């Protein structure tokens, strides 16, 4: 298949490109390279790989990039609460308007459209019940608000010939060619290994988690099965305190600073039954990711894991 991956140089995108190339697809990565392009270096000389630098806000450019594709995997987004707050108009233009336009382009050319959304759309769940794809969405950030609006507009244009797939990813973790240490689990491991200190807000708050490699696996499975509709994609629901317990197994003398006065408003547990019914079983658990990230940090793989190069925004 001839596949376009927007945001192809990113934390998830660089893994998705590798998976699809490994499975024999022709892959075009489209990225503005705002966060760099090192994640694609190992793919550069592969004959089935193409890179195009561009901005998804450029309608003419995206039209040219999309026009010969059979599948469009739309990962490009402005992410992170602080970054979105600082760039409100960019967040609107990238996360909502560009998504709406690319989805319409996919429909016009008859391409399969896969949109990366987020489980943070659920925001908070009462009494710790599991939320599923039909649960009420309660966004607590501009990022989630724009993702929900984009989801709604994509679903509005669905018909018998255009059946988009919306993937609500759990909180991602794990090593990636374009590494990020501003994701919850990754950040906790970095701080534990490099500083022997972890600051925790809302230790009892629940979050769903999924390894970045398993995200790539699910996308490939979705293509093979021609899935459509909305899917939660994840593996484990953990409290922040559960992550700390795992870290203490690696670093028994770890200094844990739990701030009781400041509560993390996001608190939700997610049901992944729909994905399981499609045969998707995650390969990795958070404990696996913790160990591998810790090993990479201890080995000196990252010269400065606190560098801005490993953050989005």
Which residues are the active-site residues?
Answer: 143
**SS3 for 68?**
coil
Q: Is 8 exposed, middle or buried (0-12, 13-18, 19+ CB in 10 A)?
A: buried
Q: Are 40 and 17 in contact (CB under 8 A)?
A: yes
CB neighbourhood size of 55 (10 A)? 16
Q: Kindly give the residue spans of alpha helices, DSSP state H, lying in 8-133.
A: 13-22, 59-66, 81-86, 88-91, 98-109
Beta partners for residue 237, in sequence order: 208
Q: Are 285 and 235 in contact (CB under 8 A)?
A: yes
Q: Are 173 and 209 in contact (CB under 8 A)?
A: yes
Count Cα neighbours of 165 within 13 Å in the Cβ-side half-sphere.
Answer: 26
Return d(Cα 244, Cα 184) in angstroms, integer: 11
Q: What is the DSSP letter of 129?
A: P
């Amino acid at each position: 298949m001839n596949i376009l991956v927007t945001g192809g140089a990113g934390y998830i995108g660089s893994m998705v490109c590798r998976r699809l190339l490994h499975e024999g697809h022709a892959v075009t990565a489209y990225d503005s390279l705002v966060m760099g392009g090192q994640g694609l270096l190992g793919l550069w000389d592969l004959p089935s790989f193409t890179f195009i630098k561009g901005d998804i806000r450029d309608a003419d450019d995206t039209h040219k990039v999309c026009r010969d594709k059979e599948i469009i995997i739309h990962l490009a987004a402005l992410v992170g609460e602080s970054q979105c707050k600082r760039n409100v108009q960019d967040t609107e233009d990238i996360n909502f308007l560009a998504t709406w336009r690319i989805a319409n382009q996919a429909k016009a050319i008859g391409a399969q459209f896969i949109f990366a959304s987020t489980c943070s759309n659920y925001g908070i769940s009462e009494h710790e019940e599991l939320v599923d794809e039909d649960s009420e969405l309660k966004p607590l950030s501009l990022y989630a608000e724009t993702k929900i609006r984009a989801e709604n507009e994509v679903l509005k244009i669905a018909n018998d010939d255009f059946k988009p797939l919306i993937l609500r990813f759990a909180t991602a973790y794990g090593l990636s060619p374009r590494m990020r240490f501003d994701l919850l689990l990754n950040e906790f491991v970095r701080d534990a290994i490099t500083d022997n200190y972890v600051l925790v807000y809302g230790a009892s708050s629940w979050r769903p988690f999924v390894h970045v490699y398993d995200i790539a696996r699910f996308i490939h499975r979705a293509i093979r099965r021609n899935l459509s509709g909305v899917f939660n994609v994840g593996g484990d629901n953990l409290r922040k305190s559960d992550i700390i317990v795992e870290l203490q197994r690696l670093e028994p003398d770890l200094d844990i600073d739990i701030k009781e006065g400041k509560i993390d408003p996001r608190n939700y547990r997610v049901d992944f039954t729909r994905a399981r019914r499609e045969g998707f079983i995650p390969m990795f658990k958070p404990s696996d990711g913790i160990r591998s990230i810790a090993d990479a940090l201890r080995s000196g793989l990252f010269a400065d894991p606190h560098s801005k190069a490993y953050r989005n925004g």
